[in-house]
Amino acid sequence: MAEIISGKEISEKVKAEIKAETEKMKEKPGLAVIIVGEDPASKVYVNNKAKGCEQVGFLSRVYRLPESTRFEELSELIKQLNTDREIDGILVQLPLPKHISEKEVINLITPTKDVDAFHPVNTGRIMTGDYYFLPCTPAGVMRMLREKKISVAGKKCVVVGRSNIVGKPQAMLMLNESATVTVCHSKTVNLKEECRQADILVVAIGKAKFITADYIKPGAVVIDVGMDRDENGKLCGDVDFEGVEKVAGAITPVPGGVGPMTIAMLLSNTLTAAKYAGKK
């Protein structure tokens, strides 16, 4: 049976480190989260981020805007936060209503306050390895591997999914640490064979229990980034946990795996942003 990699446990360690640093600072790091509309999942995520801020001693502001909010109104708010001394990190919860361009909104955030690391300046810096911040979910995955003393150097790493939020930056972070990386997606030929080559497999495709035991090299490390619901409405990942656990060497559960790490790394990025801003 595979070793279970608990993101919940590791995230608590990360938050304890952040809290200890925050307590030594004269000025609290500040995070502003903007949510537009009533998306139920987004509301849960925003509440969890606010709780995380409270846990580590950050200033937290949540701006809840109606679905009908115009781009110009959202733009004005972001511009105000860009120059707000109390706020070090700005996060606009995605998805946004269809009449607002996510790309344009992300581009408005000052790169040194873009704690999601979605701004083109930040994504470009990740390519070169000279970054302010790392995207929260891929950074969380890397921290989990380090905590478990799982080196990616020289390993065959396969990332299933090519989103700008997880798949692409995850591949780049692994490449930056000397892994041999393959990125798979919906057009990949022989996906199962590609996955079976992986020493470390990261799955982020949004399809419940899609990756089954026959996709897994015996003893491989399996990181499940998915957050789905199965046929009974129960939370699950992109990996069939029960089957894969019997083959893998280590695996993350859903829930309690990568999810808690994403919020922990957001808090870490906000602390970094506060330091960039000169808070001590």
Active-site residue, selected from the candidate residues 15, 28, 49, 279: 49
pLDDT in tens, 175-189: 999 999 999 999 999
Give the SS3 label for residue 44. Answer: helix
Kindly state the DSSP code that residue 229 receives in the 8-state scheme: E
Look at residue 88 in the predicted model and tell me its pLDDT. 98
Please name the amino acid found at residue 269. Answer: N
Active-site residue, selected from the candidate residues 15, 28, 88, 93: 93
State which of 111, 145, 168 marks the end of a domain.
Answer: 111
Q: Could you tell me the residue range of the domain that residue 61 belongs to?
A: 27-111
Separation between Cα atoms, residue 220 and residue 267, nearest integer Å: 30
State which of 94, 111, 128 marks the end of a domain.
Answer: 111
CATH number at residue 215: 3.40.50.720
116 lies in a domain? Answer: no
49 is catalytic: yes
**Residues in the chain, how many?**
280
Look at residue 41 in the predicted model and tell me its pLDDT. 84
Look at residue 14 in the predicted model and tell me its pLDDT. 98
5 contacts 149 by C-beta, under 8 angstroms: no
The two structure tokens encoding residue 214: 């026959």
Do 100 and 172 share a domain, yes or no? no
Give the SS3 label for residue 65. Answer: strand
Do 200 and 244 share a domain, yes or no? yes
**Model-level pTM?**
0.94
Give pLDDT tens digits along the chain (280 positions): 899 999 999 999 999 999 999 999 999 999 999 999 998 888 888 999 999 999 999 999 999 999 999 999 999 999 999 999 999 999 999 999 999 999 999 999 999 999 999 999 999 999 888 888 999 999 999 999 999 999 999 999 999 999 999 999 999 999 999 999 999 999 999 999 999 999 999 999 999 999 999 999 999 999 999 999 988 889 999 999 999 999 999 999 999 999 999 999 999 999 999 999 999 8
* DSSP H/E element including 89: strand 89-92
93 is catalytic: yes
Separation between Cα atoms, residue 155 and residue 158, nearest integer Å: 10
Do 94 and 142 share a domain, yes or no? no
Look at residue 261 in the predicted model and tell me its pLDDT. 97
Active-site residue, selected from the candidate residues 116, 199, 224, 238: 116
Do 105 and 188 share a domain, yes or no? no
Overall domain count for the chain = 2
Please name the residue that has the structure tokens 């996709």.
215
Look at residue 53 in the predicted model and tell me its pLDDT. 97
Do 168 and 206 share a domain, yes or no? yes
170 contacts 141 by C-beta, under 8 angstroms: yes
Look at residue 217 in the predicted model and tell me its pLDDT. 98
Please name the amino acid found at residue 117. Answer: A
169 lies in a domain? Answer: yes
